[in-house]
Amino acid sequence: MSNQCIVLVGMMGAGKSTVGKALAKHLSWEFTDTDHLIEHQTGVSIPVIFEIEGEAGFRRRESTALASFVGKERQVIATGGGIVLAEENRALLKQIGSVVYLSASATELYQRTRLDKNRPLLQGPNPRKKIEELLANRLPLYKECADVVVETGRQPVYQIVNKISLALELGQKIPPTEQKATGTE
């Protein structure tokens, strides 16, 4: 594996931010969450962007944020769940580096996100059904982009980091004495 970036894709609640931070620390690389980058650039939260600009406006900002990583090295990037919707983004993902799809079942995703009010797409009357619909629509796109697929399930973060490291041939496993993280997002 080169020093290219590692980009984490997957549904909201799959663990991209949590795993991304742990993976970046393990590799001594930088970590960036594209949603946080957009919030920092705009000075407002993702729900406010959705309210003012709609989903289309947010997706344009997301594409711009993603494009900023082309040519960068040694970064772990957690993306928004819908980043794969735009064909141009799917092409950019491959240019940026290795793409890891963090997979989780609709039930797990619902359990992890059900109380989170910062998820604009889940603020309707039936968030569980919305997750199932989003996952069904996005799953082929995640798989199309992914160099590696890792099921997050109910395993500790360090195990997920180890699986990614081994799959991408990034080096040593995290020794048991350093395994401090115990859950996913």
Residues belonging to the binding site for ATP are 13-18, 119, 155
Indicate the annotated binding residues for substrate.
35, 59, 81, 138
Those residues with Cβ within 8 angstroms of residue 184's Cβ, 6 or more apart along the chain or in another chain: 14, 15, 18, 19, 104, 112, 152, 154, 155, 157, 160
Indicate the annotated binding residues.
13-18, 35, 59, 81, 119, 138, 155
Indicate the annotated binding residues for Mg(2+).
17
User: Which of 55, 85, 88, 72 shows the shortest CA–CA distance to 7?
Assistant: 72
Q: Which two tokens stand for residue 44?
A: 């407002």
Those residues with Cβ within 8 angstroms of residue 144's Cβ, 6 or more apart along the chain or in another chain: 84, 90
Q: Distance between CA 119 and CA 116 in Å, rounded?
A: 6
Contact criterion met (CB below 8 Å) for 85 and 138: yes
